[in-house]
Chains A and B, each alone.
Chain A
Amino acid sequence: MSLALIDCNNFYASCEQLFQPRLIGRPVVVLSNNDGCVVARSAEAKALGIPMAAPWHTLTSLARRHGIVALSSNYALYGDLSARVMKVLAGFSPAQEVYSIDECFLDLAGAQPSPGACGRRIRDEVRRLVGISMGVGLGPTKTLAKFANHCAKKRPEFAGVCALGELSPTAIDALLAWAPVSEVWGVGGRLTARLQALGIHTALDLKRAAPGRIRKSFGVTLERTVRELNGELCYSLAAGPATRKQIFSSRSFGQLLTELAPLEEAVTAYATRAAEKLRRNGLVAGSVGVFVQTNPFRADLPQYQGCQHFPLEPTADTRLLAQAALQGLRVIYRPGFAYQKAGVILTELLPQELRQPTLFENSAALAGSQALMAAMDQINRAYGRGTVKLGAEGSDPRWAMRAERRTHRYTTNLEELAVAKAG
């Protein structure tokens, strides 16, 4: 078994630099929705010590001193470049698991002349074809591939590709001893402190821990991590330590909203996004939650937050989910408040195929619903998000988010192409 974990370097910042070459070599940060916090940094911004999630308004003096460029998130651009990267990668293996917008696992067992050589070719090809640099980690399990990827990025001697199969067992253990245990896949901040209390500080310490003891103290998930560190395959492609428990779609509004009508449009749009995510993951939801809140930093305004969950027959139909969300919204809406944020949460998720048919179910209506949703998704994929949507979403949203520093949608909009000057 030889699994590769491939991860784009500073993906959002790299996408921006690809189409704005003047940003190459400069500290660049990408801000979250509504230009709030730092969600991505170029290597130069990382070197300045700018932490992830730092609120942008706390960085303005640092930014002036170092000429930091701050950009709004340009998800149309990142999404398109991500799809290109994933398509190139898919050409190298029949088994691919896209793990996030900038990460994927590939099964490279049997790659010629060797998995490591294939990893190096992959890196060169993606850079040549799409213009994005990446790190490649190869190992016998997902956890070790993740770990190798960390080494590929942090240790210059690997030049971006670390294949554990090309190293001696001693060399691998030396790498594991170099990495703090918090770098191991699935070991979060909370677990790290508890592991350290038991004397487990490095990835190597965790590898050498007794699986039974780990299982007793931490549960089966971390036991599997220990087994995976020892080369025993516990997670096949499309399986990992965390499965999706909820799907969340929420934004702050561009301006405070007081009336019900624009809130209804916003909640319909969020329910639509969440339902798309749900279907993309092959899931159905058995409960829809909706929440609204005022701006807690506006002490001069009356404060309110409301949340309501509605159970429903498990479904992935945008119409039913949006309807339930709107029902909830009407329950929690109070006039006389200035709302800053709303969101939709889908819970009770289960795979589409595990859904129990109900006694009074109309199977023709269900098939019709699935066909309609599939058609909607297909049209929106082909012609751009929002081409087909529910009428309740409205068309000129006052609630749309602020994105004042967004660069052009260079790859998805003919009116926003990059310009090349002749002469």
Chain B
Amino acid sequence: MIRDIGVEPPSPRLEPTGFASPAADYLELGISLDRSLIDHPEATFFFRAAGPALAGAGIFDGDLLVVDRSVTPRSGHIVVAVADGEFVLRELRALAREARGEVTVWGVVRWAIHRLCPSP
């Protein structure tokens, strides 16, 4: 109603009236690891790596794996696969070489997150 006659209602909030921050024009969202590491949230799942066999590829026992099902697996990718009813972690070519029974790729590992300093 008040707007109809062109008068703004007084704001009940306290507004700062001094100098505007010179940074105000440059405000950006903070850095978010979720946004940076996860391209497809619906298709991204976390796994835990076990065993030392992929240390050469930079994946260590206990690492947190970011696994994306939307990525088409290609040679050179590290994948989570299902073999004999269990989850295994393999380089895709190695998986093809093993060829023991039915093996299906579950998802492609996009990131391995390795903890260096345990929580205090």
Q: Mark A residues whose CB is within 8 Å of B.
A: 21-24, 84, 87-88, 128-131, 410-411, 414, 417-423
Could you write out 7 A-B pairs with CB less than 8 Å apart? A129-B69, A131-B69, A411-B45, A420-B65, A421-B50, A421-B86, A423-B54
Residue pair A84, B42 in contact (C-beta under 8 Å): yes
Which residue of chain A has its CB nearest to the CB of B57? A422
Q: A88-B42, A418-B48 are in contact. List 20 more A-B contacts (CB 8 A).
A: A22-B86, A24-B85, A128-B69, A128-B70, A129-B69, A131-B106, A411-B46, A417-B47, A417-B48, A418-B45, A418-B47, A419-B47, A419-B49, A420-B89, A421-B51, A421-B86, A422-B50, A422-B53, A422-B59, A422-B89
Residue pair B42, A422 in contact (C-beta under 8 Å): no
Known: A88-B42, A414-B46, A417-B47. Is A422-B54 also a contact (CB below 8 A)? yes
Q: Distance in Å from the Cβ of B96 to the closest Cβ of chain A?
A: 16
What residues of chain A lie closer than 8 Å to B80, measured between beta carbons? 420
What residues of chain B lie closer than 8 Å to A414, measured between beta carbons? 46, 64
What residues of chain B lie closer than 8 Å to A410, measured between beta carbons? 45
Number of residue pairs A-B, CB distance < 8 angstroms: 76
What residues of chain A lie closer than 8 Å to B43, measured between beta carbons? 84, 128-130
The CA of A305 and the CA of B47, in the complex, are separated in Å by 47
Residue pair B42, A21 in contact (C-beta under 8 Å): no
The CA of A328 and the CA of B70, in the complex, are separated in Å by 51
The CA of A417 and the CA of B63, in the complex, are separated in Å by 11
What residues of chain A lie closer than 8 Å to B90, measured between beta carbons? 422
The CA of A129 and the CA of B70, in the complex, are separated in Å by 5
Q: Distance in Å from the Cβ of A411 to the closest Cβ of chain B?
A: 6
The CA of A421 and the CA of B82, in the complex, are separated in Å by 10
- Counting chain B CB atoms within 10 Å of each CB, which of A88, A411, A417 scores highest? A417
Which residue of chain A has its CB nearest to the CB of B67? A420
The CA of A73 and the CA of B45, in the complex, are separated in Å by 20
Task: Decide if the interface of chain A is mainly helix, strand, loop or mixed.
Answer: mixed
Q: B87 at the A/B interface (Cβ < 8 Å)?
A: yes
What residues of chain A lie closer than 8 Å to B59, measured between beta carbons? 422
Q: Mark B residues whose CB is within 8 Å of A.
A: 40-43, 45-54, 59, 64-65, 69-70, 80, 82, 85-90, 106
Q: Distance in Å from the Cβ of B82 to the closest Cβ of chain A?
A: 4
Which residue of chain B has its CB nearest to the CB of A416? B48
Known: A88-B42, A129-B40, A130-B42. Is A419-B70 also a contact (CB below 8 A)? no
Q: Distance in Å from the Cβ of A277 to the closest Cβ of chain B?
A: 24
What residues of chain B lie closer than 8 Å to A87, measured between beta carbons? 41-42
Contact of B87 among A84, A128, A421, A423 (CB under 8 A): A421
Q: Distance in Å from the Cβ of A91 to the closest Cβ of chain B?
A: 9
- Counting chain B CB atoms within 10 Å of each CB, which of A23, A410, A411, A420 scores highest? A420
What residues of chain B lie closer than 8 Å to A418, measured between beta carbons? 45, 47-48, 87
The CA of A129 and the CA of B85, in the complex, are separated in Å by 20
What residues of chain A lie closer than 8 Å to B40, measured between beta carbons? 129
Q: Distance in Å from the Cβ of A134 to the closest Cβ of chain B?
A: 14
What residues of chain A lie closer than 8 Å to B48, measured between beta carbons? 417-420
Which residue of chain A has its CB nearest to the CB of B68? A129
The list of the 3 closest CB pairs from A to B, nearest first, reads A423-B53, A22-B85, A129-B43
What residues of chain B lie closer than 8 Å to A130, measured between beta carbons? 42-43, 69
The CA of A360 and the CA of B64, in the complex, are separated in Å by 56
Q: Distance in Å from the Cβ of A316 to the closest Cβ of chain B?
A: 26
Q: Distance in Å from the Cβ of A407 to the closest Cβ of chain B?
A: 14
Residue pair B42, A420 in contact (C-beta under 8 Å): no
The CA of A22 and the CA of B42, in the complex, are separated in Å by 24
- Counting chain A CB atoms within 10 Å of each CB, which of B42, B47, B48, B88 scores highest? B42
What residues of chain A lie closer than 8 Å to B41, measured between beta carbons? 84, 87
The CA of A84 and the CA of B41, in the complex, are separated in Å by 8
Residue pair A21, B45 in contact (C-beta under 8 Å): no
Which residue of chain A has its CB nearest to the CB of B69? A129
The CA of A128 and the CA of B43, in the complex, are separated in Å by 8
What residues of chain A lie closer than 8 Å to B88, measured between beta carbons? 420-422
Q: Distance in Å from the Cβ of A409 to the closest Cβ of chain B?
A: 11
What residues of chain B lie closer than 8 Å to A421, measured between beta carbons? 50-51, 86-89
Residue pair A420, B52 in contact (C-beta under 8 Å): no
The CA of A185 and the CA of B48, in the complex, are separated in Å by 44
Q: Distance in Å from the Cβ of B30 to the closest Cβ of chain A?
A: 16
Residue pair B51, A21 in contact (C-beta under 8 Å): no
Which residue of chain A has its CB nearest to the CB of B59? A422
- Counting chain A CB atoms within 10 Å of each CB, which of B43, B70, B80 scores highest? B43
